[in-house]
Amino acid sequence: MLCDKCKQRPATVHFTKIINNEKYEQHLCEECSKGIPHFSFSIDPSFSLNKILANLLTNDPTFSGMGLAFKSERCENCGLTYSQFAQGGKLGCSNCYEVFKDKLNPLIRRIHSSERHKGKVPARTGGKLRLIKEIESLKTELGNLVKNEEFEKAAEVRDRIKDLEKRLAD
């Protein structure tokens, strides 16, 4: 696709603007996109993942007003305080996970949607492991369906679990 403006170079920058449910698209080359005011390709050199994490901690309502309580808490292994972690975004050692567990779990849950790493299974291998993980997932779904009184869907999920358990036993 060529640039909409110069019609010479390939378009590498794509703008989509929606105004009053009307979609406007513009495809520009990097050179033509430089002339657009308030648009820049450069990344702020002060940008860092640590700053994002620290900002999550300090602006998170879960942690607001609790900073003073955490300042006295210190990892006995490396000496890091929670306020130092909140400023820098890095833990000092593996023991910090245990010391600051109550404060880290809500943050981890917020970022990863879970406190527990579930991992991935390669598509070519791990057939039984994949079945076990699928059964676990379906059992969780079954519990939610029963809780919400969606019994027809729950019966379908129950049958699927039984089929997978038979395949696992074979």
Q: Domain for residue 71, yes or no?
A: yes
Q: Domain for residue 54, yes or no?
A: yes
CA–CA separation, 16 and 14 (whole Å): 7
Q: Domain for residue 119, yes or no?
A: no
pLDDT in single tens digits along all 170 residues of the chain:
899 989 999 988 888 888 888 888 888 888 888 777 655 555 555 666 666 666 665 555 444 444 434 445 788 999 888 888 888 888 889 998 888 888 888 888 887 777 776 666 666 666 787 888 889 999 999 999 999 999 999 999 999 999 999 988 87
Statement to judge: residues 60 and 91 lie in one domain: yes
Statement to judge: residues 75 and 106 lie in one domain: yes
Q: Domain for residue 120, yes or no?
A: no
Statement to judge: residues 91 and 64 lie in one domain: yes
pLDDT value for 144:
92
Q: Domain for residue 117, yes or no?
A: no
Statement to judge: residues 31 and 10 lie in one domain: yes
pLDDT value for 51:
66
Q: What 3 state SS string does the chain have?
A: CECCCCCCCECCEEEEEEECCEEEEEEECHHHHCCCCCCCCCCCCCCCHHHHHHHHHHHCCCCCCCHHHHHCCECCCCCCEHHHHHHHCCCCCCHHHHHCHHHHHHHHHHHHCCCCCCCCCCCCCCHHHHHHHHHHHHHHHHHHHHHCCCHHHHHHHHHHHHHHHHHHHC
pLDDT value for 126:
67
Q: Domain for residue 118, yes or no?
A: no
Q: Domain for residue 121, yes or no?
A: no
Statement to judge: residues 97 and 56 lie in one domain: yes
Tell me the whole-structure pTM to 2 decimals.
0.34
Question: Hey, what are 83's tokens?
Answer: 């306020």
The residue range of the domain holding 94 is: 49-112
Cα torsion through 81, 105, 52, 112, rounded to 10: 160
